[in-house]
Amino acid sequence: MRQVLSGIAAARGSALGRARVRLPHALDIDEARITAAEVDAERARFHAAVDSVRAEMRQLRERLHGALAHEIGEFLDLHALLLDDPELLSGIDELIRTGLYSADYALRLQRDRIAAVFEGMDDAYLRSRIDDIDQVIGRLHAALHSGRAELQGVSGEILVTDNVAPAELAQLQAQGVVGVVTAGGSPLSHSAILARSLHLPLVVGAAQALQKVNDGDVLAIDGSSGLVVLEPDAADLRAHHRRMAEARRERRQLNRLRREPARTLDGIDIKLWANAESRDDVTEAHALGAAGVGLYRTEFLFLGSSVLPDEEAQFRAYRDAVLAMTGRTVTIRTLDLGADKADKTGLALRDEPNPALGLRGVRLSLARQELLRTQLRAIARASGYGPVRVLVPMVSGGEELRAVRRMLDEVLHELRAQGLETAPQVPLGAMIEVPAAALALGSFVAQCDFLSIGTNDLVQYLLAADRTHEALGELYTPLHPAVLRVLRDVVRTGQRRGRPVTVCGEMAADPRLVPLLLALGLTELSLHPATLLEVRQAIRQCDLGRLRAAAPALLRARQRAAIEDWVAAWLPEAS
């Protein structure tokens, strides 16, 4: 029967497909017993599930190809090993045989036993391996219920789950998944950012989804409105086809802007950089005429793999990005692991009481100097192939920047002494995303060659509102008078000292907010290629002179509603 579930729009695009429900990893299974007479059948059911997961993982491994094969293959190999672990399987078998537990409950008991052992480990890396056990257990649980595990034949399906990790998204898309609905999650999470970059429609926070949707139900999802229609009727299907046709038309129109400048109506050029996380992003950025890469997030080299990328592997990735941009500058951000960007390598601490305020970004890099040195060497070597800048995340003052600068100078010197080619200068910039850095910018701006405002984190820290916390809803917003004032002040300080200032948070990717950012004095934006053309179009509809004249009214706004009215008044239809 038709039902409409509402969630939060996280990555645009419509999708129509059959649902694949993946139950949460944390198994919430009530105790269930069987009789002695049922033991054999229950054990057979369990072993059939194991066989089915094994076969499906093998099939998936065979289907992987290209760049994903290496990265994702590693996960699968590890999961296959776990699945063959006699400890895991015989424990469950034993619980069914002698404890007279149902296979599901035995699965849960065994999972909890293993988790207790892992939790007691001192080594953060080993502790993090519980995620892999959970994934294998989750697959077994799914297989017990549908007779097949989650990864089989997903082409054309929409995944419905509690939450999705960034590393899983590319894997899902490679399998042909056309959209994702999550019961939890936030549009500002890294998974959401990645979904937008993959053009994979994503609805998050659809709280009812796991209760209402069953495997095989047909869903029509709209990643722009956050609506999920269960068993769509004829009108829904028509609406879906209309949205798809409209998206194709918009795309065709926008494609005409590929070679047009990001120039306002009164002739001012705005510098549009691209954010990139992969080689594909860089290629797309170049094709769309981005001025350069304004933020290359290097943590994505570290997130999906259990081994640290060495200098050579990093160098190759950075060099390839530089070469792909054919002479346009590539801004490479040093590692920003920690908080919501936990990794497989175990570098980021797992059990910090307050991870967003913990050892993340440049703090982690400075605590692990060899890691930073390796990364700076790789970046400096890439600078021999084209213009490169280094961007430092989570800076809270001048000391951190000075320490990075010192090491960068040493590394450049070292490489030249080894006879390697580097750029004569590698500019160093600070991410302005910690409120203290924004407020004390005057004291260290002279040390920065450029500034990049990370509004995703700046908003979270200014408003004390977790960027990934779904229950906070509208409390997390860049449309707060305090945020606007800080943006204006950072831009002013940068301009007074002749330092270019970019906004590289998600705020810059929202075409509706372009007039606001230009009114606050910004002349450079960096955003994911997925919305680069929309933002370019929005810039071309702006009159900078009129916007600057309207800035005082914007800064006088005392609450979100008044700022929203200001934004609405500058939408192209309204102006």
Catalytic positions, please?
Answer: 190, 504
> CB of residue 197 vs ligand PEP: minimum separation in angstroms?
12
Q: Which tokens sit at 512?
A: 């509706």
Nearest Cα residue to 274 out of 296, 245, 256, 255: 296
206 φ, ψ (degrees, to nearest 5): -85, 80
Show the tokens assigned to 76: 């699968």
How many residues sit in the footprint of Mg ion (CB under 5 A)? 3
Backbone φ and ψ of 364, nearest 5°: -65, -45
Residue 262 binding partner per list Mg ion, ligand PEP, none, with a CB distance cut-off of 5 to 8 Å that depends on partner kind: none
Contact 462, 486 (CB under 8 A): yes
**Partner from ligand PEP, Mg ion, none contacting 455, C-beta within 5 to 8 A by type:** ligand PEP
Helix (H, G, I), strand (E, B) or coil at 49: helix
Considering Cα of 357, then 361, then 365, then 368, what sign does the dihedral take? positive
Eight-state DSSP code of residue 461: H
Output the DSSP codes for 158-209: EEEES---HHHHHHHHHTT--EEEESS--TTSHHHHHHHHHT--EEE--TTH
Residue 394 beta carbon to Mg ion: minimum distance, rounded to whole angstroms: 7
Contact between 510 and Mg ion (CB under 5 A)? Answer: no
By a kind-dependent CB cut-off of 5 to 8 A, residue 297 interacts, out of Mg ion, ligand PEP, none, with ligand PEP
With respect to ligand PEP, which residue has the nearer C-beta, 361 or 427? Answer: 361
**Least distance in Å: CB of 319 to Mg ion?**
25
Minimal distance, residue 506 CB to ligand PEP, in Å? 7
Considering the complex, what minimum distance in angstroms separates the CB of residue 474 from ligand PEP? Answer: 18
Laid out side by side, the sheet with 8-11 consists of 3-6, 227-230, 218-222, 14-22, 157-161, 179-182, 202-204, 8-11
Residue 292, C-beta contacts closer than 8 angstroms, at least 6 positions apart: 273, 274, 325, 328, 329, 330, 331, 387
Residue 17 touches which member of Mg ion, ligand PEP, none, C-beta under 5-8 Å by kind = none
Contact 107, 141 (CB under 8 A): yes
Per-residue x/- track, 436-455, Mg ion (CB under 5 A): ------------------x-
Nearest residue (CB) to ligand PEP, 104 versus 336: 336
Q: In the complex with Mg ion, which residue's Cβ is closer, 104 or 400?
A: 400
CB closer to ligand PEP out of 277 and 470 = 277
Please report how close the Cβ of residue 240 comes to Mg ion at its closest, in angstroms: 35
C-beta of 11 vs 57, nearer to ligand PEP: 11
Stretch in the footprint of Mg ion (CB under 5 A) among 131-139, 176-184, 260-268, 430-438: 430-438
* Angle, CA of 528, 532 and 535, to the nearest 5°: 120
Of 457 and 524, nearer to Mg ion (C-beta) is 457
Q: Which of 410, 299, 318 is nearest to 402 (CA)?
A: 410
Q: Rounded distance, CA 304 to CA 165, Å?
A: 10
From Mg ion, ligand PEP, none, interface partner of 344 (C-beta below 5 to 8 A by class): none
Backbone dihedral angles phi then psi of residue 333, each to the nearest 5 degrees: -90, 135
The nearest distance, CB 433 to ligand PEP, in angstroms, is: 5
Site string for Mg ion, 100-119 (x = CB under 5 A): --------------------
Shortest distance (Å) from residue 475 CB to ligand PEP: 17
Nearest CB to ligand PEP, comparing residues 166 and 505: 505
What radius of gyration, in Å, describes the C-alpha atoms of the chain? 25
Nearer to ligand PEP, 138 or 454 (CB): 454
Taking the least distance from each CB to ligand PEP, the nearer of 210 and 372 is: 372
Per CB under 6 A, residues contacting ligand PEP are 295, 297, 336, 433, 454-457, 504-505
Interface residue with Mg ion, options 457, 506, 510, 534 (CB under 5 A): 457
- CB-based contacts of 308, cutoff 8 Å, min separation 6: 302, 345, 347, 371
Half-sphere exposure of 505 (CA within 13 A, CB side): 25
Q: By CB under 5 A, what part of segment 12-51 binds Mg ion?
A: none
504 binds, among ligand PEP, Mg ion, none (CB under 5 to 8 A by kind): ligand PEP
Minimum Å distance from CB 433 to Mg ion? 5
C-alpha dist (Å) from residue 540 to 263, 267, 396, 518: 5, 9, 35, 12
DSSP state of 428: E
Look up residue 60 and give its amino acid.
Answer: L
- Summarize as ranges the residues that interact with Mg ion (CB under 5 A): 433, 454, 457
